[in-house]
Amino acid sequence: MDLIVATKNKKKFAEIKAILKDLKLNLSSLADIAHSPRIVENGKTFQANAIKKARKLARFTGKLSMGEDSGLCVDALGGAPGIYSSRFSGKDKSDAKNNRKVLELLNGLPLNKRKAHYVCAVALADKHGLVGVVEGRCDGVIGFELKGGSGFGYDPLFIIPKYKKTFAQLGEKVKHKMSHRYHALENARKIIKKYIEKQRRS
């Protein structure tokens, strides 16, 4: 079965493919679609953005589509950057600038005041409408400096207390078994399986 993911982020798409590889889906992304629709992420929550992406892409392609929205929520920053995670540093955003801004805002705070969590919302829709929406979460703390060369986004800052290492240090093998995206996609997996079974019966 075809599943189209509403993202042009190559690293994010690679993670989704890796986590869902056993479902044997024919996965493609917005980057593979000519004249794909522009989706404005103006929802107030991760779920609202994910639903908007899934619905718009499903209407455009007529196929099962996945919308995903995720980000970092830092307790000491009142949940920021939150839904603005990818564009936290403004117009000329980049992972490096986003990370630098978080570090600057947390400057002087001890480790026990640097609690944070990643959130990932995943929505599935087809041409008839929304099929389901799920969420995943992963808790950690924000480090004092960037560490590690794996992953993307805030991974070099996001420390998993159990390992005392960042996602960027732990690497994909560990991250893909405990991340916010892993938990959301594990919940989405159940919906996808039911959807496939339903299509086979109809």
For the chain, the average pLDDT equals 94
Spatial CA neighbour of 3 closest among 22, 18, 17: 17
Q: What is the CATH number of the domain that holds 76?
A: 3.90.950.10
Distance CA(70)–CA(165), nearest Å, equals: 21
Between CA 132 and CA 34, with CA 68 as vertex, the angle to 5 degrees is 105
Report, as an integer, the average pLDDT of 90-99. 94
In 10 A of CB 196, how many CB atoms? Answer: 16
Q: What is the pLDDT of residue 202?
A: 77
Report, as an integer, the average pLDDT of 43-47. 95
- The answer to whether residue 69 is catalytic is yes
The number of angstroms, rounded, from the C-alpha of 154 to the middle of its chain's C-alpha atoms is 12
In 10 A of CB 175, how many CB atoms? Answer: 25
Contact 163, 148 (CB under 8 A): no
Distance CA(154)–CA(132), nearest Å, equals: 27
Please state the domain count of the chain: 1
Q: For residue 101, what are the domain limits?
A: 2-201
Spatial CA neighbour of 126 closest among 198, 78, 41, 77: 198
> CB-based contacts of 127: which residues, under 8 Å, 6+ apart?
58, 59, 62, 63
Spatial CA neighbour of 134 closest among 59, 198, 193: 193
Catalytic residue among 2, 69, 92, 126: 69
pLDDT band at 108 (very low <50, low <70, confident <90, very high): very high
pTM of the model: 0.93
